[in-house]
Structure 1
């Protein structure tokens, strides 16, 4: 408050001015006479300076709240205003409270003249401690933020909602694609290569529409090499800005590539291994179906390779396999695939083939390239091939059927004298007759009570205690006897009978789980397999949900096992159903990891809780480094994604010990128990104790 000339006013204690100040206790108001003695002291002053009104009245200003170093300035200033009308300007000042502590205030002053023509100065002091604290906190947070930016390897970009870069932070400027002066004030999509810019543009839109975070990966050719980045885009709607955080993930990418190489490629020949080859086969069939094209599967076996391997040694045998792989690769188009299924068995996938005649030409070409000897360590070795061919769609409409039929045809080529090829025909496939018999008997099998659910225990690797079970379906028919799941499940899938059969398994398994938990007074998990066809059942989710409710079971006591083949379909209803189960709380398990459809991206794309490593890898972990390292990598990868790991097919104590060493969580297999009927399983679980050597 600034007054240019004195204002006449009474100084009586009941003065209305004082009454007004008495009502204002949030700020300090003091009154002083010409001798600087206190004539007024409001409640705000008591609170700010600690002196009561009684203590303050009559005391001189400098004796109360003015630090001694300021006396020489304040006393003359007060005198100059009283005698010379030189005003004291408002300012920030540090005074003292009763305890001698500093009090930061903003102090303004006004001079009045009372009826006796005496001058009275009033000081209005506003406490600045909260303001100072807020300023200090702001400075601290700013410095802390700067320290975070300095320590973080990430790049930070602040942009408008239109993508214009208005600020950035970079600890290491060599991570920037271009210098700051070339991107500040410009659109992010204008300063990056087109393929990267398009990704940014897409995820900008997603972040703006969802008002959340969008993330993606991309790569940039930097002066020091190819660099892989992960970008997270966040919309800040209150500020109408976009925050982009970019991290260099090159090392993570390299690690993923190493894991991918081990998971997908044969370490000897560097060809796609069995499950990558079958992955590509499935993709090829999907494309063929979309484009109404034909395709061919060539199953190739090297004739008498075992004799060569046994007589000349495994080292020569390995070199022979590498040379054979290179020759096969040289004979096909870039868009086709050569894979190694294992041992001396290879697969060749030919897409967009027009006829059986074209397949014959390719088969002749494959046989001909092996007429020239292979030179291995100074030796010339002759290899011949036996080739089985199955055609899509004539000989099957899925990967497993085409592979099986081409394998059958390959044995026919062997029977023809080797160094030959044979097309699959129904006449040569004696198993087809059994298929028809199984399909015929499967109709009505449920009504005849021929199906029974067996249970195989799931053990904690560390405690060796049973923590759950897997439900496995068994079928005994009065005409055909025992039929294995490998035989009847594919047929049930094909005929659609898998839907009622699958419901039967779920109903039986969960009903048994309730009984099992009541009998043992323990909590367990029940694992049930879901086939691809079951996902086409629109009532699947509600069916499971209702049974859980009817059996009074928690959702997390059920674990649904999903094969990677289910995910390969890419159907939206699969993703939707999995999301529903996840939201309900049901555990999701990726089954048979590594058997033919493996794709690491699915582990990030879907909310899996468990990864089950296929028995084919567990079999070899105590025998060869390749399987052991692959299992080790799979366990480490799963744990990094927050997944528990189950090892299938544990049959020996040595395997269990190694799995425990590798950090595997759970295990099942014949070493613990074969699948057994319900009542036998109850007895087993009650008295179970692992007999270790």
Structure 2
């Protein structure tokens, strides 16, 4: 705002214009503003206050460009005003978009006039007419016009006005392509004489009925059109007052296609076009009914492509989908026309064989299926070798219901996997015992946390150079009253599959960090604790906040807490994994790659993710003193890790010779039975003061 002295000077200087100002003051329907040679406001009427939101007091003394001129055109406005002042180039009247006090657009028709007063000073007046209502009215009119045009264009129906005998008097066609014949061929003609006999007979029947009732009649029919087979719905109404008939024809071809697509999607797999789980199981039930009626044998095959997930993750989902399509095609080529092959989901397939005279028939098919996969798959210029594992259950020996046979075939398939894959296995009772054990473990695991059945053991880790205990890996142990000691190899995969690994994993983190705090307090050293994280835990949205809260509650420094992950987690390629690892790194928690060397692309992952530690798998450590290849591999791994700034932990150290060699190879840390087996928390606290020899 200007000072009062400047305001008084302005008022005095332009007092000559008072009569003009008084005239403008009486008009609030338009905005009038006056500006001096520096574009400062010298006049601001009530219309300007209403239009732009600035009061007279707020506007007076302010520059035009600082009030109502949008930034993109400020330089142009200033230049135009200067040209008028200096070069007498008038500013033409025009429609323009300005802005109000709140920054909102204001559309106006703006005209300008320039005065020179008795002080020989130029002053410009802008007269702005608000175009908002005009623009709204124009937009509304245009909208209604477009809406009506769109409605007429959008109506796809055909309308026919007929005499009661079916003679066509008039028509309207939203889409001329939906006409069966041209207007010249049907105006004045009877609809029965124009259409094919089958459709014409339907019209004839309904035309006779419609004059006897007031309700609309309808029916569906199809015609061979130039663009192909089309489906239509006809609705017929009798206009009693005029004794005429209105027929509305709608093209429902798309609805037919959609309905067919829905039926196909409900029963067939979208990728391979094979029967899906729903249809395959329905066919299985029908097959068993026929087998019982005819006293025949039938077989259910459960197939799984070996290591498909690794291939899919490493080569991409597009190649994986093409492999599944080709696999489905090969399965169909082996089977008879009356047999069924369906896709249950993922890389799992089902094969149903009916009318078998002996088990040998199923055996021959199983061998044929294995053989057809021995030919390389040629996908996008690549040659890929895929194998399958097959489980076979025979009706009625292995079950008489669809659910029993499917479950037993699944069990047999897992047996084939355990036999080394690329083979088949017939169901046996021993397999059922194995599956029952799995079900029992899953059942007992649901209450294991509440019953305090889990205990954390700790495998100490040692500094290779001085032999001191530097930390430990937390390992979960489970003893159940019914099952006894259940090994991690048994219960961890089940916990992962059921999702119970999430609460169990939180229990491990809480226990490990609590023990670490006590351990550091007693030993007065910055010991570390390592905890393994599973893929399922990474999908838990609360994982990172839980870790952060637990660190805060226990007072443990994040740098003393290590999280171990395997390469399998990284192979998923999911964005949430990358984000979680980045957040773990930001928290200051150390990240370790576990079981290094057992996967496909470990080196690439070391470049992509913020690892601090690499753990060499025990399978390589086992042979380093007797196998030169293993020794060279471990040596190269240690050197590579150090070059990347990573520390190295060797797992599974079981002999003094292994330890000595690892020291020579400059390995940082070791763990294994030679030094200490996993031990309870109390023993770990006692061990921490000792050195190995």
TM-score (norm 2): 0.44
TM-score (norm 1): 0.44
Quick one: higher RCO (CA 8 Å, sep 6+), 1 or 2?
1
